Structure 1
Amino acid sequence: MFIHQDLNTKWKKRLRGMILVVVIAIVAHYLGSLFPLVGGILFAIILGLILGSLWDVSPIYQSGITFVVTKLLKLAVVLLGISLNLNAIVDIGRQSIIVVVTSVILGIALTYWFGKLLKLDRTLTLMIGIGTSICGTTAISCVKGILDAKEDETAYAISTIVFFNLIAFFVYPFVGQLLNFNAIDFGIWSGTAVHDTSSAVAVGFAYSSEAGDVATTVKLARTLFLLPVILILPALMSNQKKGSVKNSLKNAFPWFILWFLFMSILNSLGFFSEGLQAFSNDFAKFIIVMVMAAVGLQVNLKGFVKLGYKPFLTGLFASVVVSIVSLIMIRFL
């Protein structure tokens, strides 16, 4: 009885935020159809940013907004698997693995060096480096227990990552067009260098549908690097809490990737019709527009002023390093 009431209350809270996000996504999708050069994804994040800046949505709508970002994004990724062939996924993985490995290792190592140069706290530097190089806020949330990070350090690291995710939406498609990137190269670049899964996938789709599919596959492969990092970190830190590694590994394992691969296997075996593939792909793209609207609503632009210049510069350095390393390798390998 009480459990049923709790579930009803939880979903009522979620629905408020989800309805708000759906409305913004519908408007953004419509505007994107009118102005295809801008696209629904970019309109969604701009509308979310404007609303989030003018109106404090967190007290009433935060539960639903968080649900969209954390849960519905995973559903979108699984739905994308329905229209992808396993052979294509393996081929993309083969092309991108060296780029991913190099950018992750150099991204974390050089960010750590730069943080020491600025005399920034080691914990905050590592969180920014790991978040930038692997999977954004998810990575930060998973390693903060091992690093014994304080709440303000975690907030600073996440704010830095979010800010440079926003910059990626405007910079990456422009640079891709400037360098005349094809869809595969841009998808690998987006999947390798843009921080959060939601942002990497969205930036890919903002460029083209094919680039979005490639970015999704590469980003999921990159996310798996969080697991060895969690195992290695305790050797570098002397203040990890007992059980923190086990908890971090449990939280970090991206189970939805297995569902993504399962759906792609079924598609490769011919289980899904072309009509179902098209529908799932369109629905997944609309969910991504929803996720970007939710991301925009969550951004607190005023909070960036409180960061101070050291975390900001470290985040900028990390973003540039990961971006340039992957860009060079894609162009010359």
Structure 2
Amino acid sequence: MTGENWTQHAEQVQSNDTEKRFEQQKNWTFGVAFTFFIALLGYLLALVPGFSYVGQLACAIIIAITYRQIFGYPEAIRAGVTFSAKKLLRLAIILYGLRLNINVVLSDGLGLLLRDAFVILFAILVMVWLAKVFKADKSISLLLGVGTGVCGAAAIAAVAPIIKSKDEDTAIGVGIIALMGTVFSIIYILLRPVLPISPIDYGIWSGISLHELAHVALAAEPAGDDPLAMALLAKLGRVFLLIPLCFILILFMKSKNKGSDESTAKIAFPWFLLGFIALSIFGTYVLGHSIPVSEGTLEGIYSVTTWLLTAAMVGLGLSVSFSDLRTKAVRPLLAMIITSVLLSFVAFFIV
């Protein structure tokens, strides 16, 4: 081959590589955009009467799973979908730290914090025990135990990489927690008028027993502003305890895998948790103090966090197949229903 031919060949190879990279970048961009598009559909569906109780996140996951069953997995845009499911998920968890006011939890909620710790321990232990009884999937059951005890989808997302949960298991767990949390919130609202407790105690009960922050707000809001404030304070204590729980799980997984093959024993440190802690501290002691910020700006940040988390859940939902749901979700769902009922009773009597 002559020098001129080599030059032409090299230019052709370079041109092909450039086109290939451009095509990959285009598919990646489309994949990320696709998760936000389904997130938008979930948002619109949540505006429909009835679906508003389910919420944007759960609606988006339902749409994503349904799309997967009808049209299959969008292989060409897998990289972008995976980016949303993993990277955007961690970013959402970091931003979620701004919702946690450490000062309020430590100054006004120490008594609630003890009850929160008991609730988390109770939910996880009962869920794990029932999973053994029903021979349910261990990974999904542990995720559901953490989600039930702490703060729903956010807790599941934080714990999933620590226990090396599969994407489909994480998506199944998030879908179940969103659905059951909504159902229990509605049951709480219906029971409130006939319960022999004060509005404040009802708020505390909601805060220490319901799954998501949104579920707590949904159930406590009809009781009034003060019960709602106490409910959110109790819930913030559970979010606060997510931090030590993650470190405990890291130690547990390392001890469990001790002596195993190095490739399976290595537990990656969830560095995004440090971001979660940093933003919690920043939001508590800097934002609004040294750095003035309006309520509208904070609401905007919270809205971005919700959209990022929803897009991430869409990415996870696209990896779920109905065959997995049939074989893996039924028993964990049954165990979670029982756990949630028992937790509601126990929390009622410790309020």
TM-score computed with the length of structure 2 as normaliser: 0.66
In structure 2, the CA distance between the partners of 1:329 and 1:20, relative to structure 1 (3 Å rule), is same
Shift, 1:19, TM fit: 0.9
Structure 2: 5+ residue stretches without partners: 1-13, 147-154, 193-198, 222-227
> 1: CA distance between counterparts of 2:60 and 2:128?
34
Structure 1: 5+ residue stretches without partners: 145-152, 195-199
Shift, 1:316, TM fit: 2.6
1:143 aligns with 2:163: yes
Matched with 1:69 is: 85
> 2: CA distance between counterparts of 1:11 and 1:92?
49
Aligned residues: 307
Shift, 1:271, TM fit: 0.9
> 1: CA distance between counterparts of 2:239 and 2:107?
14
2:186 to 168, 171, 174: 174
2:331 to 301, 310, 313: 313
1:15 to 29, 46, 52: 29
1:256 aligns with 2:275: yes
> 1: CA distance between counterparts of 2:28 and 2:209?
34
Correspondences of 1:195-214 after superposition (within 5 Å): 200=212, 203=215
User: C-alpha offsets along residues 75-115 of structure 1, whole Å, 9 cap, x if unaligned?
Assistant: 33444555664433435763553344334433444444445
1:161 to 173, 179, 182: 173
Correspondences of 1:1-333 after superposition (within 5 Å): 12-33=26-47, 35=49, 37-38=52-53, 39-82=55-98, 85-90=101-106, 94=110, 96-118=112-134, 120=135, 125=138, 127-134=139-146, 135-136=155-156, 139-144=159-164, 158=170, 161-162=173-174, 164-168=176-180, 170-180=182-192, 186-190=206-210, 194=211, 200=212, 203=215, 218-219=238-239, 221-222=241-242, 224-232=244-252, 240-242=260-262, 247-248=266-267, 250-251=269-270, 254-264=273-283, 265-274=285-294, 275-307=296-328, 312-314=330-332, 316-318=334-336, 320-321=338-339, 324-325=342-343, 328-329=346-347, 332-333=350-351
Task: Answer yes or no: is the 8 Å Cα contact 2:205–2:348 preserved in 1.
Answer: yes
> 1: CA distance between counterparts of 2:178 and 2:63?
13
Shift, 1:314, TM fit: 4.8
Greater Cα radius of gyration, structure 1 or 2: 2
Task: Answer yes or no: is the 8 Å Cα contact 2:91–2:272 preserved in 1.
Answer: no
Shift, 1:225, TM fit: 0.9
Amino acid at match of 1:218: R
> 2: CA distance between counterparts of 1:276 and 1:154?
35
In structure 2, the CA distance between the partners of 1:270 and 1:78, relative to structure 1 (3 Å rule), is farther
> 1: CA distance between counterparts of 2:275 and 2:184?
26
Shift, 1:321, TM fit: 1.8
Q: Give me the identity figure in percent.
A: 15
Amino acid at match of 2:347: M
TM-score computed with the length of structure 1 as normaliser: 0.68
Cα RMSD over matched residues?
Answer: 4.4
In structure 2, the CA distance between the partners of 1:179 and 1:70, relative to structure 1 (3 Å rule), is farther
> 1: CA distance between counterparts of 2:144 and 2:121?
11
Task: Answer yes or no: is the 8 Å Cα contact 1:103–1:326 preserved in 2.
Answer: no
In structure 2, the CA distance between the partners of 1:49 and 1:16, relative to structure 1 (3 Å rule), is same
Moved more, 292-301 or 83-92: 83-92
